[in-house]
Structure 1
Amino acid sequence: MHVVLVADHAAINGGQAKVAIESALGLAGRGVRVSLFAAVGPVDPRLEPAGVRVVCLDQDDVTTARNKLAFAAQAIWNGRAARALAAELARYDARDTLVHVHAFAKALSPAIGPALRASGLPCLYTMHEFFMVCPTGGFYDYRAEAICRRAPMSASCVTTDCDMRSYPRKVARMLRHVGLAQVARLPELFHDVITISDLQESVIRPLLPRGTVFHRVDNPISVAPAPPGEGAPGDFLFVGRVSTEKGAPVFAEAARRAGVRAVFVGDGTERADLEARYPEAVMLGWRDAGAVQALMREARALVFPSVWYEGQPLTVYEALACGTPVIVSDACAGREAVVDGETGFWFRSGDADALAAHLRRLSDDGVSRRMGRAAHARYWAAPLTPDAHLDRLSAVYEAVMRGATVRGAPARHASAPVPA
């Protein structure tokens, strides 16, 4: 089998790229032929020595673009990426090649759709977020600071200023979504979709074509096995973007009400405000993965107060793997990893008093240790290791290839047009 991975970035800059690149390396290590097609460099230096063919266009994303108008045009329809992907896929045979798309919304754009369709190759998409069905990608209204339950691209959606930055930015995203749905027809193209949580599938299933086949593949967790800590539990820990949608203000307020210390690892739009309003909170900024896991092992609990859906929040699983209980919002997918009352607690999303009540419960050293041991045992009974991820991914690839054979792959036409 030959797997072509398609992603916005050729180096790790976040969760999506990490999963794509680590799976490329893992598959190559198992003897699978792997190619990576990406818009944005640099290229992870491990890929080519591992035998992965890399095609990187060295284009901009929103963080590097100097000409914002030019980048907006690229994000709506990246003609160069479409032509380059079409040329790359023309090299391969549908009998042994599968295309797995991880990301397109930050650089490649929906323009990949016609190139994928013209290739005749079996295609698969991992729903790391919600851009396939939601123009802003998160089903979250930043103005209302609440989960958005409007029908995507309905009149209510189109007229609502819900974007993190501005309504003109949402307009550009809606234009991209029109291209995605009406020109590229990506939802129809991807007969097979990987989801990473039950909540995610429940949200997207009604919005994708009937007959879409869903495959559950959990993201891998990179935590080395180690016994749970025996020392006295430390502070309550938050790890991630310090922002409203991640629930950072809710944690800070709940910690104050419970009379406990809140420790934040990360940075974001709300950091300065929280530092001013809650001087008793500790802001550590970002730390590398090893340092974060060391902090988790020492923590009394991880608090994951996110007020939006999330996909599959890896920090929740990392904490459980470290033997640390988790207090999680009941609105997000992180709740699926936590057995309420056994390995941590669920609390009512956005409710600082409800969260404070659980912080008080876990202030008891005995309760924290007991839940930490339960969290560790339950996680390691079925760990989300990179090998487990690759095993499941390989099974899905085989199922997709079989399904494409049964349905009959569309004939390849060398002259099939790819819109510029």
Structure 2
Amino acid sequence: MHILVAHNRYASAQPSGENKVVDQEVALLRAAGHRVEVFERRSDDIAGMSLMDKVKVPLLVPWNPSVRTELAARLRAERPDVVHLHNVFPLLSPAVLAACADAGVPAVATLHNYTQICPPGTLQRDGRPCTECVGSTVPTPAVRHGCYRDSRLATVPLALSMSVNRRRWWSGVERFFCISAAQRDVLVRAGMPAERLAVKHNFVPDPDARRTGEGEHVLYLGRLAETKGVRLLMTAWDELAADGGVGVPLVIVGTGPLEQEVTAWAAGRDDVRYVGLYDTAECQKAIAGSVAVVAPSTWLEAFGLVVVEAMAAGVPTVAAGHGAFTELVDDGVTGLLHRPGDAASLAARIRRIAVEGDRNREMGRAARRRYEQGFSPAVGLERLVEGYRTAIAVRSGGGEGPPPVGNKSNGSRWGTRASRDGDSR
């Protein structure tokens, strides 16, 4: 097949699960013999723009006419079978949809978060779940609260884009790839067209390193942000330390807005190590050396890449018991779930998974089996190609193809919690 992938790359200063997923899917498709081209913009480029061009960037968020012209011309010249859309904020914009329509090329889109129904895409405000904008034609609550970067001004372009492009998204994409059944359930309840929503979990390449021993640390790997549960983890770890600890240190890998706070908290402690950013090989080694990987997000994660990366290495996880984590982590089998937002519950689960050695090893083996069955490259390739062929068939009038997964966990070849057949960090 001939596929064109469109993606606005996130800034390289902070780790991006979406960037990683896009790169891995492109490499996977190419290795399988498919022709893959990339149409992208980079948020890093904004820093090098003139002052006048920087001022114009918010105006391009709802619609970038030059992108429509450039992409449509490229599609007419290259005639790909399908366009796969990922992130379009802030430089691509939903103008990519018009370009696909102009050239008559079917489009699929991976929904990495909740930007279709929530301007910042998190369904969270002030550290708590928020659905004020869900179902609204005009998401004024997000503007009123300044939900994006705590700024009303910065939120306006996102809210405007969500409002004016809603119908364009819902009618211009043949198949939306939801990265979990939990995410799909939320989007269907919010009014998105159920017949266009299919579950396609992200895959993870088989790592070079797997756990072979007991593990040397508990690991947090991800963005240092409130929504990722970093403050919750610090509180829980302090409770554990006050009660004698768990015998291994906490290692924190990543960067983000809470970096200074994490650095200060970890300073001078023997039971905590903050190591900053790691490259891919270092991340794999850190995961393989873990007693457990912790994912305490306070927002409803649409996926949870780090959980699957831990599975691939044969390492169990402790994760918040909501969002996609409830279908990724089989509680008591491949890891443990804690009560969302509850530091005492998180501390108890970390202690349990760290001190019960035999059970930990058993969960690690089960996690690896789950990875092989649902999140390997072979499974990922099959689902990508199946989704593309379905979109092409629908556009050409050949029928709907395989049905998307229903919003009940009743089993499906596309993967649900019942079938145990599954990005951000």
TM over 0.5: yes
**One-letter amino acid of the structure 2 residue matched with residue 70 of structure 1:** K
Instruction: Give the letter for the 1:288 counterpart.
Output: D
Q: Which residue among 97, 101, 107 is the counterpart of 2:81?
A: 97
How many residue pairs get aligned? The number is 383
1:198 counterpart letter in structure 2: A
8 Å contact 1:301–1:362 — kept in the other structure? yes
Q: Structure 1: any 5+ residue segments left out of the alignment?
A: 41-58, 409-420
1:70 lines up with 2:56 in the alignment: yes
User: Which of 120, 125, 129 is 1:136 aligned to?
Assistant: 120
**Residue 81 of structure 1 aligns with which residue?**
67
Q: 1:64 to 1:374 in 2, by over 3 A?
A: farther
Question: Is 1:250 matched up with 2:232?
Answer: yes
Superposition pairs of residues 3-402 of structure 1, within 5 angstroms: 3-9=3-9, 14-40=16-42, 61-62=45-46, 64-65=48-49, 67=51, 68-91=54-77, 97-141=81-125, 144-152=126-134, 153-181=138-166, 185-210=168-193, 212-224=195-207, 228-230=211-213, 232-259=214-241, 260=245, 261-279=249-267, 280=269, 281-364=272-355, 365-380=357-372, 382=373, 384-402=375-393
* Counterparts of 1:307 and 1:65, CA distance in 2: 35
Structure 2: which 5+ residue stretches go unaligned?
Answer: 400-425
Partner residue in 2 for 1:417: none
Per-residue deviation, 1:19: 2.7
Shift of 1:62: 4.8
For residues 15-55 of structure 1, the C-alpha deviation after alignment (integer angstroms, 9 at most, x for no partner) is 32333333333323333233221223xxxxxxxxxxxxxxx
Preserved contact between residue 123 and residue 192 of structure 1 (Cα < 8 Å): yes
Aligned-residue offset at 1:262: 2.4
2-structure distance, mates of 1:28, 1:155: 43
TM-score w.r.t. length of structure 1: 0.83
Change (3 A) 1:283 1:66: farther
- Does the Cα contact within 8 Å between 1:60 and 1:71 map onto a contact in 2? no
Q: Is the 8 A contact 1:187 1:208 kept in 2?
A: no
CA distance in 1, matches of 2:181, 2:354: 31
CA distance in 2, matches of 1:312, 1:201: 11
| Partner SS state of residue 359, structure 1 | helix
Question: How many Å apart are 1:123 and its aligned residue?
Answer: 1.4
Q: Helix, strand or coil: the match of 1:178?
A: helix
Contact 2:188 2:194 in 1 (8 A): no
Give aligned-pair identity as a percent.
27
Q: Indicate if the aligned counterparts of 1:97 and 1:122 stay in contact, CA closer than 8 A.
A: yes
Contact 1:11-1:21 within 8 A present in 2 as well: no
> 2:11 & 2:236 partners in 1: Cα distance?
37
Q: 1 CA distance for matches of 2:350 and 2:9? A: 39
What is the distance in 1 between the residues matched to 2:35 and 2:387?
16
Over 3 Å counting, the alpha-carbon distance change for 1:155 and 1:20 in structure 2 is closer
Moved more, 287-296 or 219-228: 219-228
Distance 2:311 2:379 in 1: 17
| Whole-angstrom CA distance in 2 between matches of 1:327 and 1:263 | 14
Deviation at 1:10, TM superposition (A): 10
Give the residue type in structure 1 aligned to 2:2.
H
What CA distance in whole angstroms lies between the structure 1 residues aligned with 2:112 and 2:24? 15
- Distance in 1 (alpha carbons) for counterparts of 2:50 and 2:351: 49
Shift of the 27–155 alpha-carbon distance from structure 1 to 2, 3 Å rule, reads closer
Q: Give 1:407 deviation, angstroms.
A: 6.5
For 1:52, the equivalent position in structure 2 comes to none
TM-score with structure 2 length normalisation? 0.82
Q: How much is the aligned-residue C-alpha RMSD, in angstroms? A: 2.6
Provide the residue aligned with 1:418 in structure 2: none
Cα separation, 2, equivalents of 1:331 and 1:199: 9
Does the CA contact (< 8 Å) of 1:313 and 1:333 recur in 2? yes
